[in-house]
Amino acid sequence: MTVISPHRRLYDVELAPVSGARFQPTGFPDIGAARFSYPVRDNGTVSWKDALIVESAQSMANRLEAVGWDAAAQRPVPELDGLPYVRVTAADDGRYITSSRTEAHRLASAYVKDSQIDGQEAKALIGGRLGLRNDTPLAPRDIARSIMALDPLCLVHGVFFADQAWPGQPKTARAVTAFIEAIDVRDAVSGGVKRDEVRHELGEGGGTQEGYGFVPYHRVEYTAERIVAHFSVDTAQIAAYGLGEAGAGLLETIALWEIRSLLDGGLRLRTACDLAPATAVTDRSGTPLPPRDELAAELRGLIGRCAELLGDGGPIQAVWNLGKKKRGS
């Protein structure tokens, strides 16, 4: 059963390995590959197929965010110029440390909140910008508007202000969610050996634990009937931020631009997991996902229209003193 929601943009993108038929899914500590049973419904009956998670929602969120960051230049890509974010540098020499675009907790990162912005503790400044006060409930719209002027991508990918210094500890959920599943999977078992052409016999002075000798190993990859990347953009959540037509359009277009950029750039998730779209990318109603250049042009126009929502529209400079605190603090 295919669900079409008026409150979501839903994309189910068929993927295929770039070479061969095998792929390596994500692994979890003490679990390995995350396998599950996938329900297949046909004329009122349900059958089950072996399936697994190729890439989790957490990992896909990181990958979507990464397309908007130039790691070599340590700054956002040009398409996102004009959007505010917090850039953290070292107090001693001004070198780049991190940012709200690259930290797992975004604006709520320890590196952000423990920094100084214009001589003020960032934690207090953010709390003040959000209007957080004891015994004062705030409308989610007011918080969203404040976040928009600090880093609008936090409204796309979510943020949780989980600190006692922030009364109410507000949370914004992800507005875009993605994951990749493989359906009707089969094991592809292989192996190999780590060779040692120098030491042919193990004795005193080092063994396999130290990296000497011949070490055989096994390997499990998978094949599948289908590999599908699922993307959901929650347009109802974005509209509920109360940022107006241009503000909502900007956030939605950021999400679509990230999805298109990720798919166009290739999904080389791991050494043995290199995937690419096998079909044209359309939503469930059949509407094509626009090309990357078209979405980038739309972004530029919307950023200009949203100037009043975006504060200064550039990096908010924060200084981190390498975690040093005064004694007794």
pLDDT surpassing 70 at residue 283: yes
If one counts every other C-beta atom within 10 angstroms of the C-beta of residue 100, the result is 25
Span 28-65, pLDDT tens digits = 888 889 999 999 998 889 999 999 999 999 999 999 99
Q: List CB contacts of 67: < 8 A, sequence separation 6 or more.
A: 77, 258, 261, 262, 265
- Short-list 153, 98, 166, CA closest to 317: 98
pLDDT surpassing 50 at residue 329: no
Q: List CB contacts of 225: < 8 A, sequence separation 6 or more.
A: 49, 183, 184, 185
If one counts every other C-beta atom within 10 angstroms of the C-beta of residue 94, the result is 10
Question: What pLDDT sits at residue 258?
Answer: 98
Distance CA 131, CA 143 (A): 8
Question: What pLDDT sits at residue 28?
Answer: 85
Structure tokens at 257: 């631009």
Instruction: State if pTM tops 0.85.
Output: yes
First-to-final CA distance of the chain: 58
Span 236-277, pLDDT tens digits = 999 999 999 999 999 999 999 999 999 999 899 999 999 999
Residue 105 φ then ψ, to 5°: -100, 10
Structure tokens at 38: 């996938």
Question: What pLDDT sits at residue 24?
Answer: 94
pLDDT surpassing 60 at residue 1: no
Span 125-178, pLDDT tens digits = 999 999 998 877 788 889 999 999 999 999 999 999 999 999 989 999 999 999
Total length of the chain: 329
β-partners of residue 236 are none
Distance CA 212, CA 205 (A): 10
Distance CA 212, CA 171 (A): 51
Q: List CB contacts of 203: < 8 A, sequence separation 6 or more.
A: none
Question: What pLDDT sits at residue 211?
Answer: 74
β-partners of residue 49 are 38
Burial of 314 (C-beta count, 10 Å sphere; 0-12/13-18/19+): middle
